[in-house]
Structure 1
Amino acid sequence: MPESQIAVLGECVADAFTTGSPEEGELALRVLPGGGPANTAVALARLGTPTRFLGRISGDVFGGLFRARLGASGVNLSGCVPASEPSTLAVATLDAEGQARYSFHADGTADWQWRREELDPARLGGASCLHAGSLTLVRPPGAARVEEFLEAAGRMATISIDPNVRAALVDPAVYQERMLRWCALADVVKLSDDDLAHIHPDQDVQRVCDTWHGAGVRLVVVTRGSLGALVSVDGARAEVPASAADVVDTVGAGDSFTAGVLHLLGERGLLGGRLDALDLEAAVDAALFAARVAARTCSVAGANPPWAHELSREDLAV
Structure 2
Amino acid sequence: MILTLGETLIDMIVSHGDHLSLKPIPGGSPFNTAIALSRLDVPVGFMGNVSRDPLGNLILEQLISNGVDTRYLHLVENPSTLALVHPDEAGEAQYGFYIDGTAAASFSPADIPPQLPECVRALVFGSIALVMEPLGSTLEEFLHRERTGRLLSFDPNVRPALMNSFPDYFSRYERILSLSTIVKLSQEDLHYLYPSQKEEEVIHGILSQGPRLIIVTRGEKGASAFKRTASGIDRVDVPSVPTPIVDTVGAGDTFHGAFLAWLAHHDVLTEEKVGMLSEGDIFEALLFASRAASLVCTRAGADPPTLVELHMGERNT
- Whether the 8 Å CA contact 1:138–1:174 is kept in 2: the answer is no
What is the SS of the residue equivalent to 1:8?
strand
Per the alignment, residue 55 of structure 1 pairs with: 48
- Whether the 8 Å CA contact 1:191–1:223 is kept in 2: the answer is yes
Comparing 235-244 and 271-280, the one that deviates more: 271-280
Cα displacement string for residues 81-121 of structure 1 (whole angstroms, at most 9, x for unaligned residues): 11221110111111122111111111111112222131235
Per the alignment, residue 77 of structure 1 pairs with: 70
Per-residue deviation at 1:313?
5.3
**Residue 191 (1) aligns with residue 191 (2):** no
**Residue 300 (1) aligns with residue 299 (2):** yes
- Whether the 8 Å CA contact 1:233–1:283 is kept in 2: the answer is no
What is the SS of the residue equivalent to 1:85?
coil
Structure 2's unaligned 5+ residue stretches are: none
Distance in structure 2 (CA, Å) of the matches to 1:190 and 1:254: 9
**Residue 10 (1) aligns with residue 9 (2):** no
Per the alignment, residue 288 of structure 1 pairs with: 287
Per-residue deviation at 1:172?
3.8
Distance in structure 1 (CA, Å) of the matches to 2:176 and 2:99: 23
Distance in structure 2 (CA, Å) of the matches to 1:227 and 1:124: 40
AA aligned opposite 1:291: S
Per the alignment, residue 231 of structure 1 pairs with: 225
Per the alignment, residue 159 of structure 1 pairs with: 152
Cα displacement string for residues 140-169 of structure 1 (whole angstroms, at most 9, x for unaligned residues): 222111011112222131000000111111
Aligned-residue RMSD, C-alpha: 1.9
- Whether the 8 Å CA contact 1:9–1:53 is kept in 2: the answer is yes
Distance in structure 2 (CA, Å) of the matches to 1:239 and 1:229: 6
TM-score of the two chains, using structure 1 as the length reference? 0.92
Comparing 201-210 and 115-124, the one that deviates more: 115-124
Distance change >3 Å, CA 225–CA 121, structure 1 → 2: farther
- Whether the 8 Å CA contact 1:47–1:306 is kept in 2: the answer is yes
**Residue 240 (1) aligns with residue 238 (2):** yes
Which structure 2 residues correspond to residues 117-136 of structure 1 after superposition, within 5 A? 117-120=110-113, 122-123=115-116, 126-136=119-129
What is the SS of the residue equivalent to 2:162?
coil
What is the SS of the residue equivalent to 1:56?
strand
Cα displacement string for residues 258-288 of structure 1 (whole angstroms, at most 9, x for unaligned residues): 0111001111211134434323332222111
Distance in structure 2 (CA, Å) of the matches to 1:172 and 1:166: 11
**Residue 263 (1) aligns with residue 252 (2):** no
What is the SS of the residue equivalent to 1:305?
coil
Distance in structure 1 (CA, Å) of the matches to 2:207 and 2:68: 32
Cα displacement string for residues 10-49 of structure 1 (whole angstroms, at most 9, x for unaligned residues): 111111122347xx9x733111111111000000000000
Per-residue deviation at 1:123?
4.5
Per-residue deviation at 1:181?
1.6
- Equivalent in 194, 209, 212 of residue 203 of structure 2: 209
| Number of matched pairs | 310
TM-score of the two chains, using structure 2 as the length reference? 0.92
Structure 1's unaligned 5+ residue stretches are: none
Distance in structure 2 (CA, Å) of the matches to 1:260 and 1:97: 25
Distance in structure 2 (CA, Å) of the matches to 1:167 and 1:304: 25
- Whether the 8 Å CA contact 1:53–1:77 is kept in 2: the answer is yes
- Whether the 8 Å CA contact 2:35–2:63 is kept in 1: the answer is yes
What is the SS of the residue equivalent to 2:158?
coil
Identity %: 36
Per-residue deviation at 1:312?
2.7
AA aligned opposite 1:122: Q
- Whether the 8 Å CA contact 1:120–1:149 is kept in 2: the answer is no
- Where do 4+ consecutive residues of structure 1 move more than 4 Å? none
Distance in structure 2 (CA, Å) of the matches to 1:174 and 1:28: 36
- Whether the 8 Å CA contact 1:256–1:297 is kept in 2: the answer is yes
- Whether the 8 Å CA contact 1:60–1:87 is kept in 2: the answer is yes
